[in-house]
Amino acid sequence: MTEETPGFDEKPDVPSGATPDDAEPKAAPEEGAAPAGDAAAADRTVGLTAQLDQVRTALGERTADLQRLQAEYQNYRRRVERDRIAVKEIAIANLLTELLPVLDDIGRAREHGELVGGFKSVAESLETVAAKMGLQQFGKEGEPFDPTIHEALMHSYAPDVTETTCVAILQPGYRIGERTIRPARVAVAEPQPGAQTVKSDSSESAETADDKENGGPDEG
């Protein structure tokens, strides 16, 4: 008898408990296909980037608001300080304006030699305090007349002046810093009408006389 050899059409033995599908090899994943986890991570990154942009935009807006408020506050502080200084200067000016008649009386008493004794001490103390508060006296004889700081109460002509000049100070002027609180009240003198013409005629006559004495002008 001959031994029978198994043919190729016979299936190999399958272990018990295994299914036919398990015996077949699994197909390899297709190349280029992204895993599901990577796609979810990409979506999460896009969402976080959008949120970050929103936060940056909000931060920029809040920063701009803060800078604007800070600038407004600085302007407010400067305005308040400027107003405070202006109110102080006005109050001082009003007080010193009320004291000007007293200072005028002190000046007249000094001119007449009546500023003596205890009255002299009090008067000098008052003048010192007024000077510390910024009060300055101005107005001198012989200075040119300036309508912005002088008030002319008397007017005359004088042959020895070449422009309108303060020849007498009737009441001194006072200022605080650059602010005039009372102009100097003065008497002014103007050049004598026709003085310039007379002076010019005299000069021409003198020149003619010199020419005659020298034999006349040189002939060309």
Residues 113 and 142 in one domain: no
pLDDT digits (tens, 9 = 90+) for 148-183: 999 999 999 998 899 999 999 999 999 998 889 999
pTM of the model: 0.56
The answer to whether residue 217 sits within a structural domain is no
Q: Is the pLDDT of residue 20 over 70?
A: no
Answer yes or no: is 220 within a domain: no
Q: Quote the domain boundaries for residue 174.
A: 135-206
Confidence band of 187 (pLDDT split at 50, 70, 90): very high
Total number of domains constituting the chain: 2
Q: Concatenated DSSP letters for the chain? A: -PPPPPPTTSPPP--TT--HHHHSPPPPPPTTPPPHHHHHHHHHHHHHHHHHHHHHHHHHHHHHHHHHHHHHHHHHHHHHHHHHHHHHHHHHHHHHHHHHHHHHHHHHHHHTT---HHHHHHHHHHHHHHHHTTEEEE--TTSBP-TTTEEEEEEEEETT-SS-EEEEEEE-EEEETTEEEEPEEEEEEEEPTTHHHHHHHHHHHHHHHHHHHTTSSPP-
Which one of 133, 154, 186 terminates a domain? 133
Query: Which of 70, 100, 133 finishes a domain?
Result: 133
Which residues are bridge partners to 158 per DSSP?
191
pLDDT at 192: 85
CATH (domain of 193): 2.30.22.10
Of the ranges 43-47, 114-118, 147-151, which one carries the lowest mean pLDDT score? 43-47
- Which pLDDT belongs to residue 83? 94
199 and 165 co-located in one domain: yes
Q: Which of 103, 133, 163 is the last residue of a domain?
A: 133
122 lies in the same domain as 141: no
Asked whether residue 82 is assigned to any structural domain, the reply reads yes
CB atoms within 10 A of CB 96: 19
Residue 199 lies in a domain: yes
151 contacts: CB under 8 Å, gap ≥ 6: 183, 184, 185, 186
Please report the pLDDT score of residue 174 as a whole number: 96
